[in-house]
Amino acid sequence: MSFHLHVRPRRLRRNAVIRGLCAETQLSVNKLIYPLFVREGKGKTPIPSMPGQFVFSIQPILKEIEECIALGIHTIALFPQIVPDKKDPMGSEAYREEGIYIRALQAIKQRFPNLCLISDVALDPYSSTGHDGWVSPEGEVSNDKTLPLLSRMAVLQAQSGADIIAPSDMMDGRVGYLRKALDQADLRHIPIMSYSAKYSSSLYGPFRDALGSAPKGDHVPGDKKTYQINPKNRREATWEAKLDQEEGADILMVKPIGFYLDVLYEIRQITPLALAAYQVSGEYAMFHAAAERGWIDLRSVVQESLFSIRRAGADMIISYFAKDFAVWNRKEDSPQP
């Protein structure tokens, strides 16, 4: 039986070529940012809760980046694993010129001068408290006393090869404070990618395991709820994004992204700035866990998730799947009729 239908949307889904012509959302590897972890020592150490991910010493991370570049990935977000005996309440290792993170930035930039290198600005990997800011003896994460420490980090990182500074700390006013510090250091050309809508999420566990950056210690807050956004709130995220734009941010970010596509879409409506989204460690771990049990097809689900992030308004995506995506799509033939 056949019906006389003037409108048939399925006509545009008939084959791969037509579907490609009509695709509203495009995703290429140059929209992806690959996060990498660096540490002291030699070799690389697997991260148990993040299958296929490692913490690298400097020489292996250079080899890893070389592989990424060959696959078309030209932007790396770098995070440090600091040994416990170099951590203190002030996070002093963060702004020590001989520290592993600074040496890694310098080595990477010297080897790959055209690579776009994004550095992380927050105290949590370096602090003995595991918090993004300085914790007072009374147990309060001090906003204003943290800002000078962050500015020292940002200036040193930019001087050491970082192309983009990315404050992930969620202290009030830090974008304006860092912008002023960078400008005064004659680093006006360095963009700021602000973690504008960083939620107090339960999805950061594997990342904190990898870096040893979970909150810890007596008289220290056991979570980061006093400075990261309440997952129940959306308007608050748009407020934070507006503030960061006013303070001079060049790129705004939503983190995590899987549960917060509505927030990304909302921010897309109110700003002309470029938007980044971070597909975080917990999302990566969940996809892998389900795939290992045969419950999902990893490749299909990952690509679907990345397209959903682009569709919601992201200009760029930080994802631990960036290298996988590049491998999967490197040798794909053009669809045939």
Question: What is 133-168 written as a DSSP string?
Answer: SEEPTTS-EEHHHHHHHHHHHHHHHHHTT-SEEEE-
Strands, E assignment, the chain: 32-38, 44-46, 54-56, 75-80, 116-121, 134-135, 141-142, 164-167, 193-198, 251-255, 274-279, 316-319
Answer for the pair 326, 71: CB distance below 8 angstroms, yes or no.
Answer: yes
Q: Which of 87, 198, 224, 323 is catalytic?
A: 198
Answer for the pair 158, 181: CB distance below 8 angstroms, yes or no.
Answer: no
- Give how far the C-alpha of residue 76 lies from the chain's centroid of Cα atoms, to the nearest Å: 9
What distance in Å separates the CA atoms of residue 102 and residue 160, rounded to the nearest whole number? 6
Is-catalytic flag, 63? no
Give me 123's structure tokens: 């105290």
Q: Which of 44, 87, 224, 255 is catalytic?
A: 255
What distance in Å separates the CA atoms of residue 332 and residue 195, rounded to the nearest whole number? 34
Is-catalytic flag, 255? yes
What distance in Å separates the CA atoms of residue 274 and residue 268, rounded to the nearest whole number? 9
The 3-state DSSP class for residue 259 equals coil
- Residue showing tokens 């993004």: 132
What distance in Å separates the CA atoms of residue 161 and residue 269, rounded to the nearest whole number? 33
Residues catalogued as catalytic: 198, 255
